[in-house]
Amino acid sequence: MKRTRKGRAGPPDSTVGDSGQSLEARVLAALAGSDRGPLKTKELARALTIPAGDYRSFRRLLAGLEKSGKIYRTKGHRYAVAAKLDLVTGSLSITRNGDGFIRPDDGGEDVFVPGQRLATAMVGDRVVARIERRPRGRSREGTVIRILDRARETLVGTFHRGPKFSYVTPLDVRLTRDVLVASDDDQGAQDGEVVVVRIVTYGDGRVSSVGSIERVLGSLSDPGVDVVAVAYGFGISLEFEPDVDSAAAAAAKSGSLDGGPDRVDRTDLLCFTIDPADAKDHDDALSLTEAPDGTVEVGVHIADVSHFVRRDTPVDIEAAARGTSVYLVDRTIPMLPAVLSNDVCSLRAGEARFAVSLFMTLDGEGRVTSRRYERTRIRCSRGLSYEEAQEVLDGVGSISPDVDGALRGLVERARLVRALRYARGALDFDLPEAKVVLDDEGLPIDIKRRERKESHRLVEDFMILANEVVANDLEARGLATLYRVHEPPTPERVEALAETLLDFGLKVSRRKALKPSDMQGLLTAVKGREEESLVSSLVLRSLKKARYHTENLGHFGLASEGYLHFTSPIRRYPDLIVHRVLTAAFVHGSAPPYRDAEDLVSTAEQCSVREQAAEEAERASVALKKVEFMERHLGDTFSGRVSGVAAFGFFVTLEEFFVDGLVHVSGLQDDFYHFRAKDHALVGERGGRRFRLGDRVEVQVARVDKEARQIDFQVVRKL
């Protein structure tokens, strides 16, 4: 499917009035401040002194704002902002038991929507909900009254043949309704095969949705079909259209021949990459130059993707639509065609490559005293794996005297940079992460803990520092770009976290303006304790999700006043935007590539959505292989810790393999168990036996369901 940029209806949002506000901002302000209630189009036009000749385009602007959910039309064709009507607009997530939560566009507290009030909305849809109740101490409760944007036009599921109508049962457990398929529109699918179905009609509360089979993937037991099904399920394109591939090849050829103006030759500089051993795309390289006065210049060299990918070309449009590369358990689905991502843009060792280089001078305490930007031509001397770099840092391996010395010098400065970041309150979630080991046929043979070594931290420290420096420099110039923002947790989430952590003897500050250092104190307090991972998970869940935004709203998790993504343009579209802005401003001294923030609003939203889909797909592919791995452990027992409690049962995370499974309440046959939300526990009615968040238990693997990606445990005993 070809990708095109969406045009805007009506006059451009940058049209300003006497107040200097955009017309869109003036419309929203007028409706929010109206003391007459919702306004008709003509009333609003008079209030904003819209010329008669612009009235038609003004109506188109209102229609566009209505479609986006920024304003709402009531009976009588009157307009109001959603907040005035007690409406909330946002994206929908759905739990395993079929209930929904809306994450509001304005960043407010989530809205709970019971399953019977979701209408035909599906996970990921952007919806409007009417607030029905505001229970004390719990999320607001609402009803979906309108669906603004459908997150998916297709879904993946298991095909079941019938005499007249067949149906597809979605593999995603959050999609609870089957899709009907006419028997003459099934593409020859066999009963039980996994298919991609395109939704023709979404039905309503009583009528099922109807679709047509678009692609037959095969049996879920066939090699590779399971992971391919995950990709299709999250709307991730596995291949590039022929015109995108050919455009990428042409861009790679022409771009390699001409480095463009202001390119500086730095091929004599000692620099190297540090990446996973199996990495094919190398975004970043490091260099270190020491000065006689004790200062050092650290070079952060990032692949110059913007030199090859120009705005509004087929490759750029496709990259914007994808938003990010996706790293599934057995494959990488790149944002850019391989000729760019794995070849001419990748900073391969021994080959001259174009880069955007940030040179930072650091003093003896790790502070940046000066910086400069160049578009460079570099040649990495080595491509190191994290393991090779770590051996040098541990003193048990060697690359060469100059590389060894540079590595040791870099890690010394990285520790100083890290200490400064922690001193201001930055959070460090050192949570255990699972790495699924596959054999040549894609079958899981082991699940290991993914180690985080000093070599990982070294790279991370300088990438974070570079992202902050670039953010501060672009903001100081008032340039339109995309920031990576992470807002403070809401008071409601802080309150819920505080109540939960009291059981662990931990106190959370109740001040209104919670600081990152408050959260950091919690993580420090449990360092080395048995419950460290659990408390870290609870703190992480209390935080908002980071996202892309055109305004610099700061980054709570990093305790940073300004942050963005500059260091990975091969695999993230926001980084590519930042490179275009940065090189125009600080290298070429040319006009900004984006006129103002309004140019980038929809791009920020799209990139945030695609990032979320990529993360969910990655987790789903890992979960799939975990289920497959545990299939061979049916009947085996393991120790684990209760990581979540709900009315229908509790989840246990195994200590050995970092696998999650459900102990269903129906399996607790010694008593009738009731859910106590305040205590995060299931409590027996007669005996008072409790299963509480954080408890250690021994469980037996009772059942696995690969289609539902679910593992069921039975309790053997409490530990």
Which domains occur in the chain, in start order? 23-82 (1.10.10.10), 86-149 (2.40.50.140), 154-219 (2.40.50.700), 242-485+552-619 (no CATH), 491-543 (no CATH), 634-718 (2.40.50.140)
Instruction: Give CA–CA dist 318/316, Å, rounded.
Output: 5
* pLDDT digits 0-9 by tens, 661-696: 999 999 998 889 999 887 788 999 988 899 988 899
CB-based burial label for 73 (10 Å; 0-12, 13-18, 19+) = middle
Question: What does the pLDDT average to over 309-335?
Answer: 96
DSSP string, 570-633: TTBHHHHHHHHHHHIIIII----SSSSGGGGHHHHHHHHHHHHHHHHHHHHHHHHHHHHHHGGG
Shortest CA distance to 286 belongs to which of 212, 360, 228? 360
**Looking at the predicted structure, is the pLDDT value of residue 17 above 50?**
no
Instruction: Give CA–CA dist 506/496, Å, rounded.
Output: 13
List the structure tokens of 476: 């100081």
Instruction: Give CA–CA dist 216/189, Å, rounded.
Output: 6
**Looking at the predicted structure, is the pLDDT value of residue 27 above 90?**
no
The pLDDT of residue 19 is 46
Question: What does the pLDDT average to over 52-62?
Answer: 87
* pLDDT digits 0-9 by tens, 703-716: 998 877 889 999 99
**Looking at the predicted structure, is the pLDDT value of residue 525 above 90?**
no
Instruction: Give CA–CA dist 523/536, Å, rounded.
Output: 6
The neighbouring-strand residues paired with 78 are 40, 74
**DSSP 3-state assignment of 271?**
strand
DSSP string, 502-532: GGGT------SS--HHHHHHHHHHTTTSTTH
Instruction: Give CA–CA dist 570/342, Å, rounded.
Output: 9
Q: Compute CA 406 distance to the chain's CA centroid, rounded to the nearest angstrom.
A: 33
**Looking at the predicted structure, is the pLDDT value of residue 465 above 70?**
yes
The neighbouring-strand residues paired with 81 are 71
18 pLDDT tier (thresholds 50, 70, 90): very low
Question: What sign for the dihedral angle of Cα 598, 599, 600, 602?
Answer: positive
Q: Which is higher by pLDDT, 254 or 146?
A: 254
C-alpha atoms less than 13 angstroms from C-alpha of 237 in its C-beta half-sphere: 17
Cα separation values, 427 from 249, 516, 517, 523, 694, Å: 42, 7, 8, 8, 22
**In 543-569, which positions are buried (b, 16+ CB within 10 angstroms) versus exposed (e)?**
bbebbbbbebbbbbbbbbebbbbbbbb
**Looking at the predicted structure, is the pLDDT value of residue 325 above 70?**
yes
The pLDDT of residue 396 is 96
Return the number of other C-beta atoms located less than 10 Å from residue 190's C-beta.
12
Return the number of other C-beta atoms located less than 10 Å from residue 66's C-beta.
14
Question: What does the pLDDT average to over 424-451?
Answer: 86
The pLDDT of residue 107 is 67
Q: How far apart are the first and last CA of the chain?
A: 54
Share above pLDDT 90 across residues of the chain, in percent, rounded to a whole number: 53
Instruction: Give CA–CA dist 282/346, Å, rounded.
Output: 5
The pLDDT of residue 54 is 86
Instruction: Give CA–CA dist 37/474, Å, rounded.
Output: 41
List the structure tokens of 673: 């168990």
* pLDDT digits 0-9 by tens, 147-190: 888 888 889 999 998 887 899 999 887 787 889 998 777 788 99
* pLDDT digits 0-9 by tens, 551-581: 999 999 999 999 999 999 999 999 999 999 9
Question: What does the pLDDT average to over 44-71?
Answer: 85
Which of 6-10, 113-117, 342-346, 447-451 shows the lowest per-residue confidence on average (mean pLDDT)? Answer: 6-10
The neighbouring-strand residues paired with 444 are 438
Strands 382-385, 434-438: pairing is unpaired
Share above pLDDT 70 across residues of the chain, in percent, rounded to a whole number: 96
Q: Which is higher by pLDDT, 69 or 281?
A: 281
List the structure tokens of 435: 């790495």
pTM of the model: 0.84
The pLDDT of residue 151 is 82
State the amino acid at position 556 in one-letter form: F
Question: What does the pLDDT average to over 60-79?
Answer: 81
Question: What does the pLDDT average to over 98-104?
Answer: 87
Question: What does the pLDDT average to over 250-256?
Answer: 97
Q: Are 123 and 151 in contact (CB under 8 A)?
A: yes
State the amino acid at position 381 in one-letter form: S
95 pLDDT tier (thresholds 50, 70, 90): confident
Query: Hey, what's the torsion of the CAs at 255, 261, 262, 263, to 10 degrees?
Result: 20
Q: Which is higher by pLDDT, 524 or 85?
A: 524
Residue bearing tokens 């959050």: 174
* pLDDT digits 0-9 by tens, 106-131: 767 789 999 889 888 888 888 888 88
Instruction: Give CA–CA dist 482/577, Å, rounded.
Output: 7
Q: In the structure, how many helices (H) and strands (E) does the chain have? A: 16, 34
Instruction: Give CA–CA dist 271/303, Å, rounded.
Output: 13
* pLDDT digits 0-9 by tens, 259-278: 999 999 999 999 999 999 98
The neighbouring-strand residues paired with 155 are 197
Residue bearing tokens 């929908």: 92
Which of 209-218, 322-331, 423-432, 600-609 shows the lowest per-residue confidence on average (mean pLDDT)? Answer: 423-432
The pLDDT of residue 305 is 98
Across the chain, mean pLDDT equals 89
Instruction: Give CA–CA dist 181/210, Å, rounded.
Output: 6
Instruction: Give CA–CA dist 9/233, Å, rounded.
Output: 31
